[in-house]
Amino acid sequence: ICSFIHSPKGFPKLKNDTFLRAARGEETEHTPVWCMRQAGRYLPEFRETRAAQDFFATCRSPKLCCELTLQPLRRFPLDAAIIFSDILVVPQALGMEVVMVPGKGPTFTEPLKEVEDLLKLRQKVDVTAELGYVFQAITLTRHSLEGRVPLIGFSGAPWTLMSYMIEGGGSTTMAKAKSWLYRHPEASHRLLRLLADVVTDYLVGQVAAGAQALQLFESHAGHLGPEQFQDFALPYIRDIAQGVKSKLKEEALPLVPMIIFAKDAHYALRDLAHAGYEVVGLDWTIRPQEARAQTGKDVTLQGNLDPCALYAPKEKIGELVKKMLEGFGTQRYIANLGHGLYPDMSPEHVGAFVEAVHAHSRHINKH
């Protein structure tokens, strides 16, 4: 179990920087690999650690977050760790109550219904006061990793957070949230601006705490069409990249690589490639060659094996990985799934995926 070390400076020296080099577009001996939701319920040790605790209570415990972040690294030769947390800690920081309902998922006790409800939100958020527990978890985990691999911090993007805050939970249509975009465009922009400002400070705080890369999750991009994405998602995605970078400079913090993952937004790949992020994450619904053609040579791509491919026999997983690597090429590329791991997946198959990426990319690089 992770023990707390007080000085956030003096982190252990990084031994495997393959992921960071790939993110910056430098050459790598093998293609780095990590998995979204690699700290998850597919691991028996995760279920055991989480069993006794409320979900958000777990998120607020630096010790437990550290332990859950490290579990997949004990099993698999992954090239990065991602801090265990949740995107909905941001609405909580704005004063909204979110509970995890078994069998239903995250649920807001009082979602935003009317424009007036925006007044109930904290208009100025002190991220250290509200989200300091995430920063503590990052510092603790960074020490406990002992330099094995880099640690990724993350946040939800404004539109995705807004959609949860209005829907009150998951939704297949996002009709309530999208109706705001059509009926209350000004209020929608006010809310998105507030979220973008908080997310920017939150990500800067994560770097100050020890995060070595950052990923922004626009998980609900697919519910928007190109025009709404252009109006209500992309400007804030751009502002966050710009805001984080200028604040990191101001505070003399390391300029860490940033990843944008906008699920199902292939219509926006060209724009995302120019939005100020070093890495563009892809879901599984786009061909590697097509993604390369649209994003150009100046960004690294991350993705995009269909998570359900991990249900295939291990040999088949190897073939699919090889094909994926041939499609993307082994450089300026970080292997991942096109979305997170599912709870019923076999850890052995996850291991087969990770090992196949390393073996096939090394082989391709040699020849």
For residues 340 and 37, is the Cβ–Cβ distance under 8 A?
Answer: yes
Catalytic residue among 17, 21, 42, 50: 50
Look at the chain and count its residues.
367
Q: Any residues with CB less than 8 A from the CB of 344 and at least 6 apart, and which?
A: 42
Q: Is 50 a catalytic residue?
A: yes
Q: Is 164 a catalytic residue?
A: yes
Catalytic residue among 60, 79, 164, 201: 164
Catalytic residue among 41, 75, 190, 193: 41
The helix-helix angle for 314-328 and 347-366 (nearest 10°) equals 40
Catalytic residue among 24, 86, 342, 362: 86
For residues 62 and 131, is the Cβ–Cβ distance under 8 A?
Answer: no
Side chain identity, residue 261: F
Catalytic residue among 17, 21, 37, 197: 37
Q: Is 41 a catalytic residue?
A: yes
User: Would you name the residues annotated as active-site residues?
Assistant: 37, 41, 50, 86, 164
